[in-house]
Structure formats: structure tokens, C-alpha cells
Amino acid sequence: MTVEKNPQSADANSTRYWRENVKLLGLLLSVWFAVSFGAGILFVDVLNKIEIGGFKLGFWFAQQGSIVAFVILIFVYTARMHVLEKRFGVSDE
Amino acid sequence: MDTQTLTYIFVGLSFALYIGIAVWSRAGSTSEFYVAGGHVHPIANGMATAADWMSAASFISMAGIIAFSGYDASVYLMGWTGGYVLLALLLAPYLRKFGQFTVPDFIGERYYSKTARVVAVICLIIISFTYIAGQMRGVGVVFSRFLELPIEWGVVIGMGIVFFYAVLGGMKGITYTQVAQYCVLIFAYLVPAVFISILMTGNPVPQLGLGSDVVGSDISVLARLDGALVDLGFTAFTEASKSTADIFAITLALMVGTAGLPHVIVRFFTVPKVSDARRSAGYALVFIALLYTTAPAVGAFARLNFIGSVHEKPYAEAPDWVKTWEGIGLIAWMDKNGDGVIQYGPGAPFDGRASYTDDMGVNGERLLANTPTDNANEILVDRDIMVLANPEIAGLPPWVIALVAAGGVAAALSTAAGLLLVISSSISHDLLKKTFRPQITEKTELLAARGAAAAAIVVAGYLGINPPGFVAQVVALAFGLAACSLFPAILMGVFFKDINREGAIAGMVAGLVFTLGYIVYFKSPWFGATNTADHWLFGISPEGIGAIGMAVNFVVAGLVARFTAKTPLAVRQMVDAIRIPAGAATPTSTH
């Protein structure tokens, strides 16, 4: 056993924290899927009919927009988890 | 000063910097050697991860691939960045909380099995060596093009530098060297991109320049490029030529593969806290995105410039760079219709690789021995030259060219060093200390780690000088294997407590056999299989098959786990502890 046993590991608080985390993950990963596989691949032809700032929208998502969205997603997750960990008292800070 | 002297100065100065950092940050313990003592600041780790991640392929080849395949190249842009979302959300924080040294460490402990650990080590070594051969080659290529040294010399010099700081400094030395290498490579990438964007569109931000109007017209860069390509008979730049299913599968395999690459994952073992692991993945992606969002602009500008400077131009009046790269053998022109004018179009201008005769044609071009094809295209261009030739094409000053050379070397060296480290730590730590010789002291383990790093450098150098034709064709292999083996095993280890030892091992082996089998079947010369869409499973190319391999892994692991002994209670408690950030310890070797 290399990881210290956490006395409160299996208690209700931890379980609720984990459920909230998984819910948040589901939400953020849906956005992850929508901007890349959705806008950049599956619906690219439809979105390409719209043109903004010299870019066909589908093409823009595939080569620029999805990458920007990925960065935002990670920082949103970091911020939300910070709040969640404080709320459940499981923060390491 | 001429370009070559400047290049020697720039590359030499960058080497001096790396060596200086290596001496300053020598590793004194296994913890420092494997994970830099776990004290790296998240921003520094983000930069190091970005340098680790962006290889010679990202720096030199990617913009060229985008230039010549347009929308289809989106698979690399999305695939190689989207993986960081998976890493930050699903893997990094939990692996940091687990608090050990290597990826096989986690798999071995979570699945309470030396067999699982050894399977993970085998995956890791195949993935890392496939990857590293290309890096050493990249160093050799940059040296040969800019310093006019033979490729072999370039590889040997690169080996020497990496040897010095990887063996001496371990993860600690590599991390701080990579921070410096990131700065060199991003500066070298952005300077020419900004210059070219200003020249073409007047907009200094390449990401915006891509959609801006070409100077002196009211047509945007992309629209003009689409028009020029369609006129020549190509698919438009912004349109797909691959099938949607294939693009989907390749993107998924690259994303998941990215998240499962051991040299990337291990970077998140080096930060002090669980929250730092998440934040650090975010910073890493910011630093990566800086280059990845610039690449499409560089690619589009380069293609437009290329068409403008060669199509329907008499060879005698072609710009100097055409002749320079023709001299090195990366551009070839065959005057098929004998009019002395270069025509550019879709399709190969002649059969096979360019094979030059020693004679010159009437226009002064190098004559070719190849059989011409019956299309109108007369010019062959190696897409790897786009980033390297871009400063020349745009007429930028020699110091920019020297800077690009130093950036290319930094990109290749930083990735090679990261890979060498995971190879050496998996040998000294996972195989020696944790599997075969548990009685060795920390001092012996550290010595073994340095020895393994040295041996791995020699093997990598050999592969760089004598690249097996097979490896060059299977870059997909590294990502496919990471996607089908390591990523699912780690993910299930954190999120599904019911996946037990038997399930995980069966899943990894099934995913690996399926993916490896599919790639070898289509990519190797042994089976004589036709590598075209009609013959692929669900229309998915070998590049994308890792996505299916991952699904195979999940299904097999789930089924096997259902019908075998439950995961022991102690392991379930360990998973509970990993899920909670509180109580993360700094990795030590005294557990």
C-alpha cells in the first residue's frame, strides 16, 4: 500500500464530492465533444455555410475554435474544482 | 554575417544555455531524477510539458501538412490539443494524488500485479522508441540543412547534448532545460509567422491574419487560397477529402493517445499538489495552443506564396529558394511540356521519389531519371520544407532563418529527452527495483537509471542514423498503442473500482493485439494488404484504428472483470483515497 489511507475516504461527504465531480466532468466533456467532433467534424458542412471574419465557421472550429475552447474548459474545471473542494473540505491547499 | 555563421552562433548559444542549466540542476536522489523532487511550479511545468510535447514533427512538419492537406490536417490540430482536456479532467490530478514515479507504477499498484506492470512497461517502451527515432532524425535533418553537416553528425551531436543533461540532471535537469527550449522554439516559430502575416495581410496576429483580406484586395486569405486551389484542380483548402468516419476516428485516436503518452503523463508527477496538476495541464495547453493556432496561418500563407511564386513562372526567373531546395533534393521540376515554365497542379509529377541524374537541363534545372505521369503537374515539393523555407520565401533577414534552425533543434531535443527519461525510469524503477531486484539501494537504483538513460540514448541515436523504413511509416503506432492500452487502463483504474487485475490485463493485451495487428497488416510489406479505404474496417485507416482498439480494451476488461474475483478491499480504499485531493504527499523513495 503506497497511498496513505484516508480516514474519511469512504464516508458520505467524499461520495457526494465524487458525484459532483463526475457530474461536472460529464458537462465539460459534452462541450469538449461538441466543439471538436460536433462543430469541427460532424456538422462542419452545415457550419461552413456561415462565414464570420473571413472564416467559414466549421473550418474555424476545426483549426482554431476547438483549441481555444479546450484551453477555456481546463481553466473552468480548475476553478470549479477549487470551489467544490473548499465546499466539501477535501482541498489539498 | 552570412546565414550559416549566424546559425552556428544561434544553435551554439542555445546549446551553451542548455548545458549551463544541466550543471546547475543536477539530480541527487531518485525522486529528483524521476520527478524533479515534485517541486516544479505549475507554470514552469506547463512550459516544460509544451516543449516535451511539441516535437520536430510539430515544429517542422505540421504547418507543411496543413499547407498541403488543408482541412484534413484538422485531425492533428484537434487531436494533439484535445487530449490535454482528457488529461487534465480524467488522469493528471488522480495520478498526482497517487504520488509515485511512473505510469507502470500506477498500473502495477492499482491492478495489484507485477504482470500488469510489465505489460505497461512493454507498451511504454514500444511507444517511446517509435517516437524517439523520429526526434533524433529531426535533429540530424536540421543540422544537415542549415549547417551543411552530414545527417549522421547531426544525430551524434544531438545525442551528446541530450546525454549530458538527461543523464546528469534526470527529470530535474530536463524540466528546466525544457523551459528554456520552449522559449527558444516558440520565439522562433512566432517571429517569422508575424512577419509573414504583416506582409500578406497587414495584420500582425497570424491567427487573425488567416481570415483577413490579402493586402491590396478585398478577398480573404482563405477565400483566395480556396479559389486558387480549385482553379488548379485541387480540393478547396477548407474542404475535406477524407471520409467523415475516418476523420472522426483519427481525431479520437490522437486525442486519447495524447492523454495516454507516458512522457506527457509523467510530467504531472512533478508538481507539488493535485490542484497544481490540473492548473499545469491548462498552462501546458495555453503554451501549446500558441503554436498550434499559428500553424494553420503559417500553412495557408505558405501554400498561397508557393503557388504565387512558382505556378506559370519561367524556371529561369524562379526565386532563389526554389533552386536552393532543389539543390538539396527536396524540390524537383520536370519540364514535361518543354515550355521552360513551371506548371503546378494535383497529382505526382512523375513516378516514385525524385531520382536526379548528374546533368542539367536547358533551363539550368536538375534533370530527373523518373518516368513522367500524364497529368499537368511538373513540380514536386517536400512538405517538410515549408516552415524551414518560409523565412526565405517571404524574404526575411538571415537571423530569422538562424533562429528557426535553433528552434527546430530545441523542439527535437526537448522531446527526445523527455522520452529517454520515461524509458530509463521504467527500466531502473519498474523492471529492476519493483519487479526483479527489489533489494537494491536508492544509490544503485539511481546509477541504474543513469545507465539506462545512457543506453537508451545510444539505441535512439542508432535508430536516428539507420531509421528502419517501417518505423517511419508508423508514427500512428505510438498514438494508437497509447490509445488502446495505457489510456483505458489508467482511466478505468480511477473511475471504475470493479475493474480488477484480470480485466485490466486482458483489456490491455486485447487492445494492443488488435491495434498492432491492424497497423502491421496494412502498413508492413509482409502481408501485401492494400492500404485503401475499400479494405479498411468501417472505413477507418490504420492512423485512426487506436480509437476502435480502445473500445476493444474497455469491452474486454469489463467482461473479464465480471466473471473473475472482485477487486480486493485494500485496492478499493486506495482508489477512494486517489479520488480525494486532500493529503497528497510529495513522492519519496522511502515508502
Give the pLDDT score at B459: 86
Q: Is residue A71 part of a domain?
A: yes
Q: Could B213 and A54 be called an inter-chain contact, meaning their C-beta atoms sit closer than 8 Å?
A: yes
Give the pLDDT score at B375: 84
Q: Is residue B23 part of a domain?
A: no
Q: Is residue A83 part of a domain?
A: yes
Mapped onto helix, strand or coil, the DSSP state of residue B366 is strand
> Among B409, B415, B461, which residue's Cα sits nearest to residue B12?
B409
> Among B42, B61, B18, which residue's Cα sits nearest to residue B183?
B18
Find chain A residues with C-beta within 8 A of B273's C-beta.
92-93
Which own/partner pairs from B14-18 qualify as long-range (CB within 8 Å, at least 24 positions apart)?
B14/B180, B14/B181, B14/B184, B14/B406, B14/B409, B14/B410, B15/B161, B17/B180, B18/B161, B18/B165, B18/B177, B18/B180, B18/B181, B18/B413
Residues comprising chain B, all counted: 591
Q: How many angstroms separate the CA of residue B99 from the nearest CA in chain A? A: 8
Same domain, B315 and B298: no
Q: Could you give the CA distance from residue A91 to residue A87 in angstroms, rounded to a whole number?
A: 9
Q: Could you give the C-alpha distances from B551 to B483, B488, B489, B510, in angstroms and in order?
A: 10, 9, 12, 10
Among B444, B470, B496, which residue terminates a domain?
B470
What H or E segment, with its residue span, contains residue A50?
none
CB B58 within 8 A of CB B538: no
Alpha helix stretches (DSSP H) within B87-167: 92-98, 103-110, 114-146, 151-162
Q: Is residue B3 part of a domain?
A: no
Q: Is residue B412 part of a domain?
A: yes
Find chain B residues with C-beta within 8 A of A79's C-beta.
none
Closest Cβ opposite residue A5 in set B90, B273, B577: B577
B271 conformational bin, left if phi > 0, alpha if psi -120 to 50, beta if neither: beta
Q: Could A41 and B275 be called an inter-chain contact, meaning their C-beta atoms sit closer than 8 Å?
A: no
CB-CB neighbours of B180 under 10 Å: 19
Give the pLDDT score at A5: 45
Q: What share of chain B is helix, strand, coil (3-state, %, to 5)?
A: 70, 5, 25
Give the position of cell 503546378: B344
- B220, β-bridge pairs: B213
Q: Could A6 and B88 be called an inter-chain contact, meaning their C-beta atoms sit closer than 8 Å?
A: no
Q: How many angstroms separate the CA of residue A89 from the nearest CA in chain B? A: 8
Closest Cβ opposite residue B82 in set A3, A17, A36: A36
Same domain, B376 and B421: no
What is the tens place of the pLDDT at every residue in B405-421? 888 888 888 888 888 88
Same domain, B322 and B268: no
Q: Could A64 and B293 be called an inter-chain contact, meaning their C-beta atoms sit closer than 8 Å?
A: yes
Same domain, B175 and B322: no
Q: Could B248 and A41 be called an inter-chain contact, meaning their C-beta atoms sit closer than 8 Å?
A: yes
Same domain, B189 and B293: yes
Q: Could A29 and B85 be called an inter-chain contact, meaning their C-beta atoms sit closer than 8 Å?
A: yes
Residues comprising chain A, all counted: 93
> Among B79, B179, B189, which residue's Cα sits nearest to residue B414?
B179
Same domain, B417 and B377: no
CB B204 within 8 A of CB B194: yes
> Nearest residue on chain B to A73, judged by CA atoms?
B85
Q: Could you give the CA distance from residue A67 to residue A70 in angstroms, rounded to a whole number?
A: 5
Q: Could B84 and A74 be called an inter-chain contact, meaning their C-beta atoms sit closer than 8 Å?
A: yes
Residues 6 or more apart whose CB falls under 8 angstroms from that of B553 comprise: B484, B485, B488, B489, B507, B508, B510, B511
Judge whether A43 is closer than 8 Å to chain B, CB to CB. Answer: no
Closest Cβ opposite residue B285 in set A53, A74, A85: A74
Q: Domain of B171: which CATH number?
A: 1.20.1730.10
What H or E segment, with its residue span, contains residue A18?
helix A12-33
pLDDT above 50: residue A1: no
CB B363 within 8 A of CB B340: yes
Same domain, B381 and B402: no
Among B470, B494, B519, which residue terminates a domain?
B470
Q: Is residue B491 part of a domain?
A: no
Find chain A residues with C-beta within 8 A of B240's C-beta.
44
Domain that holds residue A86: 36-93
Q: Is residue A89 part of a domain?
A: yes
Same domain, B372 and B438: no
Q: Could A54 and B222 be called an inter-chain contact, meaning their C-beta atoms sit closer than 8 Å?
A: yes
Domain count, chain B: 2
> Nearest residue on chain A to B496, judged by CA atoms?
A22
Best probe of the A interface among B238, B247, B256, B578, by most A CBs < 10 A, is B238
Q: Is residue A63 part of a domain?
A: yes
Q: How many angstroms separate the CA of residue A91 from the nearest CA in chain B? A: 5
Give the pLDDT score at B186: 92
Q: Which residues of chain B have pLDDT under 70?
A: 145-146, 467-476, 525, 528-529, 533, 584-591
Same domain, B247 and B349: no
The overall average pLDDT reported for chain A is: 85
Same domain, B222 and B327: no
Q: Could you give the CA distance from residue B321 to residue B218 in angstroms, rounded to a whole number?
A: 29
Judge whether A64 is closer than 8 Å to chain B, CB to CB. Answer: yes
Q: How many angstroms separate the CA of residue A32 from the nearest CA in chain B? A: 8
Nine cell digits for residue B288: 501549446
Domain count, chain A: 1
Q: Could B82 and A70 be called an inter-chain contact, meaning their C-beta atoms sit closer than 8 Å?
A: yes
Mapped onto helix, strand or coil, the DSSP state of residue B213 is strand
Same domain, B315 and B293: no
Q: Could A10 and B576 be called an inter-chain contact, meaning their C-beta atoms sit closer than 8 Å?
A: yes
Give the pLDDT score at B477: 76
Q: Are strands A55-56 and B356-360 parallel, antiparallel or unpaired?
A: unpaired
Range 12-41 of A in CB contact (< 8 A) with B: 14, 17-18, 21-22, 25, 28-29, 32, 36-37, 40-41
Give the pLDDT score at B590: 40
Judge whether A3 is closer than 8 Å to chain B, CB to CB. Answer: yes
Give the pLDDT score at B474: 55
Find chain A residues with C-beta within 8 A of B80's C-beta.
none
Work out the angle at residue B379's Cα, subtended by the Cα atoms of residues B201 and B388, and round it to the nearest 5 degrees.
50
Q: Is residue B370 part of a domain?
A: yes
Q: Could A92 and B581 be called an inter-chain contact, meaning their C-beta atoms sit closer than 8 Å?
A: yes
> Nearest residue on chain A to B98, judged by CA atoms?
A3
Q: Could A70 and B85 be called an inter-chain contact, meaning their C-beta atoms sit closer than 8 Å?
A: yes
Q: Is residue B290 part of a domain?
A: yes
Nine cell digits for residue B73: 490536417
Q: Could A37 and B570 be called an inter-chain contact, meaning their C-beta atoms sit closer than 8 Å?
A: no
Q: Is residue A28 part of a domain?
A: no
Closest Cβ opposite residue B222 in set A40, A55, A75: A55
> Among B514, B412, B354, which residue's Cα sits nearest to residue B188?
B412
Nine cell digits for residue B351: 513516378
Q: Could B580 and A90 be called an inter-chain contact, meaning their C-beta atoms sit closer than 8 Å?
A: yes
> Nearest residue on chain A to B582, judged by CA atoms?
A92
Domain that holds residue B359: 305-391
User: What ipTM does this complex have?
Assistant: 0.89
Q: What share of chain A is helix, strand, coil (3-state, %, to 5)?
A: 70, 5, 25
Same domain, B170 and B265: yes
Q: Is residue A49 part of a domain?
A: yes
Q: Is residue B7 part of a domain?
A: no
Among B447, B470, B493, which residue terminates a domain?
B470
Residues 6 or more apart whose CB falls under 8 angstroms from that of B100 comprise: A2, B106, B109, B269, B587
> Nearest residue on chain B to A56, judged by CA atoms?
B238
Q: Is residue B358 part of a domain?
A: yes
CB B464 within 8 A of CB B133: yes
Closest Cβ opposite residue A67 in set B71, B289, B581: B289
